[in-house]
């Protein structure tokens, strides 16, 4: 992997470790859109504290660290990967899973990549296209766990919305495929624009609920082929694309008849923060459960460099 600067350009601190990284944009086919991700391909020897500090230094929504193992171990358990935000380690996140698997696919050559995450083994399969630089990747997330149906009046108070902003015929409900999200269906794009603040009331409500974040969706979309428009507000701002939430949303859609069995749908996200993203989802309802939750999209590599520790 190339370094951004030669040793003639930059003096490396004595006794430092050079940690190569790759920058990717995930859930997009175009650079400088989608959700940003930094991937450190060889994190062996780094401590938990160092990985957290490096993620904080990158200052992206998530940074991933690959810990390569012995070949037989990786065949059995998948490639070990850890995911960090600027403030915590996550058991699972969607765009880091897809982006890290894309890196392993592109530089390892396999069309099927298994990641060993804190939440367990996650498979990601890639479909090569005519353009050699394009591959569509799709992860199968864990079967969905169904959470509580929330009171819309309470959610309205927590989010600063009115009852008129909610879609009247669909429930506000929590689902989890690794990280729990409460899916909040709103009535229009105009209502979505009012859902852009993370407040003390939001934090307090989520702390006593069964979810980590809200995922706002509505059936009115900007792109004609999209099924839903989505926003995910969190403590660090607004996420351009949230693959873990999209998996939960796919489960919610399948459970409540928004998509048919096996139908693939597009969720558009990130338009409000000028990083348009397209997330492809599908899932199946089986009795009172949702299974075969798939989340996919495209990725593009946009840069590389080294961090010294």
Structure tokens at 113: 């990549």
CB count in 10 Å sphere of residue 158: 21
Alpha carbons 211 and 278: distance in angstroms, whole number: 24
Estimate to the nearest angstrom the gap between the alpha carbon of 59 and the chain centroid: 16
Could you give phi then psi for residue 100, rounded to 5 degrees?
Answer: -65, -40
Q: Which of 111, 103, 104, 108 is nearest to 128 (CA)?
A: 111
User: What are the respective helix, strand and coil percentages of the chain, to the nearest 5?
Assistant: 25, 40, 40
Contact 81, 45 (CB under 8 A): no
Q: What is the rounded distance in angstroms from the CA atom of residue 65 to the CA atom of residue 38?
A: 9
What 3-state DSSP class applies to 265? strand
Q: Which of 33, 62, 238, 268 is catalytic?
A: 62
- Give the residue ranges of DSSP H helices in the chain: 48-58, 71-77, 94-108, 152-159, 189-193, 200-207, 243-255
62 as an active site residue: the answer is yes
Burial class of residue 289, CB neighbours in 10 A (0-12, 13-18, 19+)? middle
- Residue whose C-alpha is closest to residue 267's, from 222, 226, 214: 226
Q: Are 220 and 257 in contact (CB under 8 A)?
A: no
Pseudo-torsion of CA 97, 102, 103, 106, nearest 10°? 160
- Catalytic site positions: 62
């Amino acid at each position: 992997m190339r370094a951004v600067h030669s040793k003639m350009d930059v003096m490396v601190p004595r006794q430092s470790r050079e940690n190569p990284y790759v920058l990717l944009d995930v859930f997009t086919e175009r650079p400088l859109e989608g959700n940003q991700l930094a991937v450190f391909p060889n994190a062996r020897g780094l401590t938990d504290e160092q990985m957290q500090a490096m993620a904080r230094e990158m200052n992206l929504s998530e940074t991933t660290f690959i810990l390569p193992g012995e070949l037989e171990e990786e065949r059995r358990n998948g490639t070990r990967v850890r995911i960090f935000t600027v403030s915590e380690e996550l058991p699972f996140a969607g765009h880091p899973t897809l982006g890290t698997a894309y890196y392993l696919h592109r530089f390892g050559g396999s069309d099927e990549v298994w990641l060993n995450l804190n939440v367990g083994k996650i498979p990601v399969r890639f479909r090569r296209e005519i353009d050699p630089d394009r591959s569509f990747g799709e992860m199968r997330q864990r079967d969905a766990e169904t959470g509580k149906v929330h009171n819309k009046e309470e959610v309205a108070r927590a989010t600063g919305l009115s009852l008129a902003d909610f879609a009247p015929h669909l429930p506000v409900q929590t689902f989890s495929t690794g990280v729990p999200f409460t899916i909040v269906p709103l009535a229009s794009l105009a209502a979505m624009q009012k859902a852009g603040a993370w407040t003390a009331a939001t934090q307090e409500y989520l702390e006593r609920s069964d979810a980590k974040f809200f995922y706002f969706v509505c059936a009115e979309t900007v792109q004609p082929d999209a099924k839903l428009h989505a926003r995910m507000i969190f403590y660090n701002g607004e996420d351009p694309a949230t693959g873990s939430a999209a998996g939960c949303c796919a489960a919610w859609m399948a459970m409540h008849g928004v998509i048919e069995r096996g139908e693939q749908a597009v969720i558009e996200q990130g338009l409000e923060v000028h990083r348009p993203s397209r997330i492809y989802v599908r899932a199946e309802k089986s009795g009172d459960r949702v299974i075969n939750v798939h989340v996919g999209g495209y990725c593009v590599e946009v840069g590389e460099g080294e961090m010294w520790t």
